[in-house]
Chains A and B, each alone.
Chain A
Amino acid sequence: GQQVMQIPQYQHVQEGEDFTTYCNSSTTLSNIQWYKQRPGGHPVFLIQLVKSGEVKKQKRLTFQFGEAKKNSSLHITATQTTDVGTYFCSTGTASKLTFGTGTRLQVTL
């Protein structure tokens, strides 16, 4: 089945710094989703990307799908403490999502 790898596993930033997590696949993906999971919480859907080279923005978050549809990134500008959590990418078929291992973001003042 399809697999997606995420890097880094963990990132610690100071509030105000930028943050980027990357999602990579060895095969072409038809879609990518990004989810956020707060500590002790459940995954929350953020966005879906389906087009080659697609870029979407949500306030301070920028999501990108690579031209070859084999990678994706999530960039957060000027992190805040509310951004703390684990960010997962996933890719789906008709019946299920395959999740990456996640990037855990820690933000300190």
Chain B
Amino acid sequence: NAGVMQNPRHLVRRRGQEARLRCSPMKGHSHVYWYRQLPEEGLKFMVYLQKENIIDESGMPKERFSAEFPKEGPSILRIQQVVRGDSAAYFCASSREGQVFGEQYFGPGTRLTVT
């Protein structure tokens, strides 16, 4: 029973490039969440999606960041024109309909480094 999958695990981008982070939720899970974690800090909510719908994007920066969860395929977090401050670990989590509220399953994360 595969857990939440994220790829790539490590991503290096130069300033101004685009970063695409992928997340495949656990089998049977229809809810996807993205969180960002800066070094030595807690996790900050970015966005919550269900299939083909963005439910809550209150944590997403207004510019350069976007997320999608298409009907087929993984959820994508896209960061355009990356800057050094975007360097962080990006975690995806999933949950299923009717699951114990607050119990989210996290993927291994994508560590983004912007040079």
Seen from chain A, the residues whose Cβ lies within 8 Å of a Cβ on chain B are 31, 33, 41-45, 48, 88, 90-92, 95-102
Select which of B45, B59, B101, B107 is within 8 A of A42 by beta carbon: B107
State the CA gap A31–B101 with chains docked (Å).
9
- Quick one: closest A residue to B91, CB to CB? A42
Select which of B45, B100, B107 is within 8 A of A96 by beta carbon: B45
In the bound complex, residues from chain B placing their C-beta under 8 Å from that of A45 are 102-105
Inter-chain contact A88/B42, CB cutoff 8 Å: yes
- What 0/1 pattern do residues 57 to 92 of B give for CB contact below 8 A with A? 011000000000000000000000000000000010
B41 touches A (CB below 8 Å): yes
Chain B interface residue count, CB cutoff 8 Å, equals 24
In the bound complex, residues from chain A placing their C-beta under 8 Å from that of B27 are none
Q: Which 3 pairs show the lowest CB-CB distances between chains A and B? A: A95-B56, A96-B45, A33-B102
Select which of B43, B55, B109 is within 8 A of A99 by beta carbon: B43
- Quick one: closest B residue to A48, CB to CB? B102
State the CA gap A88–B102 with chains docked (Å).
13
Inter-chain contact A96/B33, CB cutoff 8 Å: yes
B44 touches A (CB below 8 Å): yes
